[in-house]
Amino acid sequence: MVRVLSVASECAPLIKTGGLADVVGALPAALAGLGATLRTMIPGYPQVAGQLNKPRTVAKIDNLFGGPARILSAEAAGLALLVVDAPHLFDREGGIYLDAAGHDWPDNPLRFAALSYAAAHVAVHGAGKWRPDVVHGHDWQAGLVLEYMHALGGDAKTPFIFTIHNVAFHGNAPGNMLEQLQLDPWRFNADHFEFWGQISALKAGLMGADKITTVSQTYAEELMTDTFGMGMEGVLRHRQADLTGIVNGIDTDVWNPATDPEIQSYKTPRGKAANKKKLQAAFGLEPAGGPLCVLISRLTSQKGIDLLIEALPALLDNDGQLALLGSGEPALEVALHKLAAAHPNVGVQIGYDEALSHRMMAGGDAILVPSRFEPCGLTQLYGLRYGTVPLVGLTGGLADTVINASPAALSSGAATGVQFFPVTAGALGNAFHRLSALYAAPKIWAQLQRNGMKQAVGWERSAVEYHALYAGLAASD
C-alpha cells in the first residue's frame, strides 16, 4: 500500500474556486481500490475548519511564518485530511486567494509557503505515526515543498510528484523575501527557484520534482511551446523526459443524469426535453428552432468570453439561444448584460450556482467551451455525460476529450462534438453555423448525444496512471 500526501490550496467539496479543487477531492476515492491511500493537506480556512470531524493535533510548528501552527488530522466529506491550522495566515474573511475587494492577499507568498513547509514537515518528521511514501503537490501553492524538505532533512527526501493544473500562475515573490520565506540563498539560482530575479514557487516545483504531470497530453505538449508555456517553456523542455499528461476525470456519481437530484432524471437523450423546457423558463427564454447553448464559466479572456460575444450573432441568426452562468471580468459582465437586454434569445446570470449548473447541463443542447487555452477542462466532460454536445476550442484537454464532427468521424459514428481552430471569433462563428446544421439533422444530433453519453469520463483510467507513478517512485526510494 503506497501512502501519498496530496498537497493543495483547495479541495472539493470543502473549499473550491475551480477545477483544481475537483481533481484534488476526487483523487483519494479514485485511487482507494488500487493500493494507494491519500491524505490531503489543505490550509485551515474558516470554511474548512467548520466541517472537520473530530480533529486531533498530530504535529506542531512553533513559528510558521509569524505565528504558531498545528497540523490537524481529521475527516470531512469522506476525505482523510491534514489541515494546517495557522489562524494568523488562514483565518480571515474574504476569498482564499483574494480579499473582499478582489485583490490578492499581500501575504499570499507567506501563506502558501506555509502550506509547503507544513507538507515538508510531515514528509520529514511524520504526522503522528503516519508518514508518506510519496508527496504529490498541486500547482504553485505546493511548489516549495522540496525546498523545505531540503532545509529540514538534508539530502534525504521523500519522492515528489508535481502537477501543473494551470501554468499561468507562477506564485512569484520578490527576491528580497528569501530570509522571510526561510529559503536557502545558495539555491536562489536558475537550477532551483530563481526566475528573472524573483522567487518562483512554480519553478521550484518544476525543477525539483521527480515526476511532473499535467492534466492532458495535449497540454503537456503545448506547455513546451512559447505560445502556451507562459515563460516556463524552457524549464519544461529541460524536464521533458519527466513530464507526462494524465487527463482529468469527473465524479460520475455526482454528475449522473440518471440519478441527479437537481434535474428530471434521464438515461437517454430523449429525456433532456423536459429539462430544456424548465431551463428556458428559468432564463426567460421562449422555445426556439435552434440549439440552446449553455456556458458555465469564469468570465475571462482565457475562457474566450470576448470571442463568444463577437461570434454570437452566428448562433442567434440560426434561431439559437444562449443561457450563461458565470462571473469574472467586470467589462465582460457588463457586455453580457447588454446582450441579454438586447436579444430575447440570450439569458445571463452573473454568479455561481452549483444546482443551476446541473440543470443547465441537463437542459442544454450544447455546452460551449471557447477557451483560448484549457489545460484539461471539466465542463466538456459534464456535457458528454449529460448528452449536451460540446462545442470547444482545439486546445489542451478539449482536444483530447472531444471528437470533432468531421465528415470522417460522422461517417464512422465516432463524433461527440464540434471543435474549432484557430481559436478566434471568426472560427467560433463558423462553428456555430456547423453546430446549427447538425442540430437541424435530428438523427445525426441524437447520435452525437448518444456517443457522448457512452464516453468514459470518470477517473478509472487516469487513476491507474497516477498509481503507477506513485508505486514506481515509492519502490525507487
The pLDDT-based confidence of 17 (bands split at 50, 70, 90) is confident
Rounded distance between C-alpha atoms, residue 258 and residue 271, angstroms:
10
Q: What is the mean pLDDT of the chain?
A: 96
Query: What does the domain layout of the chain look like in residue ranges?
Result: 2-249+460-476, 269-454
Instruction: Work out the average pLDDT over 178-197.
Output: 96
Q: Which residues contact 476 (CB under 8 A, 6 or more apart)?
A: 159
What is residue 101's predicted lDDT score, i.e. its pLDDT? 83
The pLDDT-based confidence of 248 (bands split at 50, 70, 90) is very high
Rounded distance between C-alpha atoms, residue 276 and residue 327, angstroms:
23
What is residue 373's predicted lDDT score, i.e. its pLDDT? 93
What is residue 317's predicted lDDT score, i.e. its pLDDT? 97
Q: Which residues contact 77 (CB under 8 A, 6 or more apart)?
A: 13, 14, 25, 51
Rounded distance between C-alpha atoms, residue 212 and residue 192, angstroms:
15
Cell 457586455 sits on residue: 335
Tell me the Cα Rg of the chain. 23
- Neighbouring CB atoms inside 10 A of 443's CB total 6
Rounded distance between C-alpha atoms, residue 341 and residue 17, angstroms:
29
Q: Topology of 2-249+460-476 in CATH? A: Rossmann fold (3.40.50)
The pLDDT-based confidence of 371 (bands split at 50, 70, 90) is very high
Q: What is the dihedral of CA 192, 195, 200, 202, to 10 degrees?
A: -70
What is residue 102's predicted lDDT score, i.e. its pLDDT? 81
The annotation status of 16 as a binding-site residue, yes or no, is yes
Q: Give me 261's grid cell.
A: 437530484
What is residue 154's predicted lDDT score, i.e. its pLDDT? 61
CATH 3.40.50.2000 for domain 269-454, yes or no, is yes
Lowest mean pLDDT among 77-86, 153-162, 203-212: 153-162
Q: Residues 275-327: pLDDT tens digits? A: 999 999 999 999 999 999 999 999 999 999 999 999 999 999 999 999 999 99
Order of strands across the sheet that contains 389-393: 346-350, 321-328, 292-299, 366-369, 389-393, 418-420
The amino acid sitting at 170 is H
Do the two domains 2-249+460-476 and 269-454 of this chain adopt the same fold? yes
Q: Give me 193's grid cell.
A: 527557484
For residue 21, give the nearest of 10, 35, 32 by alpha carbon: 10
Q: Given a cut of 80, is residue 375 above it in pLDDT? A: yes
What is residue 19's predicted lDDT score, i.e. its pLDDT? 83
Rounded distance between C-alpha atoms, residue 416 and residue 404, angstroms:
6
Quickly list DSSP for 236-271: HHHTGGGEEE------TTTS-TTT-TTS---SSGGG
User: How many Cα atoms are found within 13 Å in the side-chain-facing hemisphere of 120?
Assistant: 27
Q: Answer whether 319's CB lies under 8 Å from 383's CB.
A: no
Instruction: Work out the average pLDDT over 369-385.
Output: 96
What is residue 153's predicted lDDT score, i.e. its pLDDT? 83
The pLDDT-based confidence of 155 (bands split at 50, 70, 90) is low
Cell 476525505 sits on residue: 79
Instruction: Work out the average pLDDT over 72-99.
Output: 96
H or E element that contains 150: helix 145-153
Length of the chain measured in residues? 477
For residue 168, give the nearest of 18, 367, 38 by alpha carbon: 18
